[in-house]
Amino acid sequence: MISETNRIEYKQELIDDLEREVVAFLNYQEGGVIYIGIDKDGNPVGISDLDGNMLKIKDRLKNNILPSCMGLFDVAVEKVESIDVIKITLASGTEKPYYIKKHGMSEKGTFIRVGTAAEPMPTRMIETLFSKRTRHSIGKIKSSKQNLSFEQLRIYYEGAKRTLNEHFAENLELLTEDGQYNYVAYLLSDTNGISIKVAKYNGIDRIDLSENNEYGYCSLIKATKQVLDKIELENKTLAKITSKEREEKRLWDPVALREAVINSIVHNDYTSEIPPKFEFFTDRIEITSFGSFPKE
């Protein structure tokens, strides 16, 4: 037998970290193979109760990993030097990042193959892959409305000193494979059914509602700007007079707050048709973005 490689992992027996290794291969661009019944030196030692262990493996992969990896793995018996071992063949998944269900989409539950080891996936990579997955999934959904206009998107481009040419729908991946407008196009069009809520409460709970604003039913870009403008207005400047100078400080760091708002809108799973929401309390701001988030 050859030594372990970036695509081959040996396990002497079926142990608790199987899901970790599987997730790492699902997130790896080339997939991989896991052998159960071979030691770290590549020597086949066999495994008892082949059928029972194969059923356990299939059940664990089916129930313990998200998104579903059904159809991405094969579990079979293979003879190595006349000894029966279990071979798990894994394809590279199309809905990365894959993660262990009980740990959620976090560094504790999401792994990537690095050399011959399954390493925790950095948070930035998790966010990037999730963003691409959401964009690609809604990019495949045909918009229920095909008579779409994009004047607000055009204004945004002009404001950025760029031109939205006649091929913009194709260049911005706003079309399905058969050339129809997709759900991304619907979200960016001048009129849609998405409305982002910004609420303000008097107090630290949701009992006394003082404002309930909705920004939407328009291009998601325009709605995002409206939300940012409202939040900028709420991010008041506090002043303190000292013996030497006047000290001013915003309630929240403007750069961090803007990034949090944009991330919540960009990474929201719009396939649920639930937009993100923003809530102001006297002691905090809560931002809720819907999707597959880490479970405690």
Encode pLDDT of 43-71 as tens digits.
Answer: 999 998 999 999 999 999 999 999 889 88
CA nearest to 201, candidates 286, 121, 124, 141 = 286
In the chain the domains, ranked by start, together with CATH numbers, are 8-121 (3.30.950.30), 130-188 (no CATH), 195-288 (no CATH)
Encode pLDDT of 107-152 as tens digits.
Answer: 999 999 999 999 999 999 998 888 777 666 788 888 989 999 999 9
Cβ-based neighbours of 91, under 8 Å, separated by 6 or more: 26, 31, 72, 73
Q: With b meaning 16 or more CB within 10 Å and e meaning fewer, what string describes 232-249?
A: eeebeeeeeeeeeeeeee
pLDDT of residue 27: 96
Task: Flag the least confident range among 13-17, 76-80, 100-104, 291-295.
Answer: 291-295
Q: How confident is the model at residue 296 (pLDDT cuts 50, 70, 90)?
A: very low
Encode pLDDT of 237-283 as tens digits.
Answer: 887 777 677 778 888 889 889 989 998 898 787 876 788 999 999 99
